[in-house]
Amino acid sequence: MGAECQYELAQAAYVKLTLHALKHPASAVNGLLIGRLLDGASSPAVVAVVEAVPLSHSRAQPRRGPLRGQGLAVVGYYHANALRGDADLPAIAKCVGDHIFRYFPRVAVLLVSVASPDLRH
């Protein structure tokens, strides 16, 4: 995991994962980050995250066909803790990140923190 890497998070993906966290303020939420490696030969490598797919509190599931056809893959995972100010990445998030790493070595594991005290408890 020592390769230097930059991540570009598309606005639509950012909005989706933030709204997912805000919609369920009393629960931990998580999801997959979908994207592609833009240029693995550049230094640092650049990973573009174009979509966020909520997993908990949602029936949405990523579809494999359209992802592969567009050169997209699961490039990461996001997690928002139930408690505001909880900056610890839970063990399950680490396990999911490790699993994605097997298929995409430049995996991003994103801990989402919603700072507004009246939006998350």
pLDDT in tens, the chain (121 residues): 456 889 999 999 999 999 998 888 888 999 999 999 997 677 888 999 999 999 865 455 555 556 666 889 999 999 999 887 888 999 999 999 999 999 999 999 999 987 655 544 4
Six-digit token string for 74: 């699961």
Vertex 113, ends 11 and 26: CA angle to 5°? 110
Range 5-112 has CATH code 3.40.140.10: yes
pTM of the full structure: 0.82
Residue type, 66: P
| Through-space distance between the first and last CA atoms of the chain, rounded to whole angstroms | 34
CA 106 to chain CA mean position, Å? 12
